[in-house]
Amino acid sequence: MLNKIIIKGLRLYAYHGVMELERKVGAYFTIDCEVETDIQDAIANDFVDDTISYADLYETIKREMAQPSFLVEHAAGRITKAILAEYPKAQSVRIRLLKENPPMGADCQGAGVELVMYRE
C-alpha cells in the first residue's frame, strides 16, 4: 500500500530565471512536494527509519533550489530526480514549484510547473 509524505507551501529564496536580473536578485519560490511510499512499517513501529523523513526531504529540496537555473522546469526536474535517487523507498514524486510575483506583468500569486516522476 502506498501513502504520501507531504511538504506543503515550503517557501525558499532562490536565483532562478531567464532574465539575468532574476538570477542576480532572486525571488521567493513556493514548493509543494508529495512522495509516494509504503509507510505501513512506520505506522506499526513508530520508527523514523521505516519512512522517509520530511526533514531529510526538505534538505534535498533546499540543496537543489540553491543551484541557479534559467527555468523552473529544470529546478523541479533536479529536485524530483534527486529525491528518487536518494530515497530508495520513494515510488513517485510530485513537485509543484511556483515563482512568487514573476516578472511578466500579471497580477498572480505565482507561476511555475508541476512535475510527476515515477521510479522505473
Specify whether the CB–CB gap between 30 and 10 falls below 8 A.
Answer: yes
- Catalytic residue list contains 4: no
For residue 47, report the phi and psi dihedrals to the nearest 5 degrees. Answer: -115, 130
Catalytic residue among 24, 81, 89, 99: 99
Residues 6 or more apart whose Cβ sits within 8 Å of residue 70 = 16, 17, 18, 23
Residues annotated as catalytic are 99
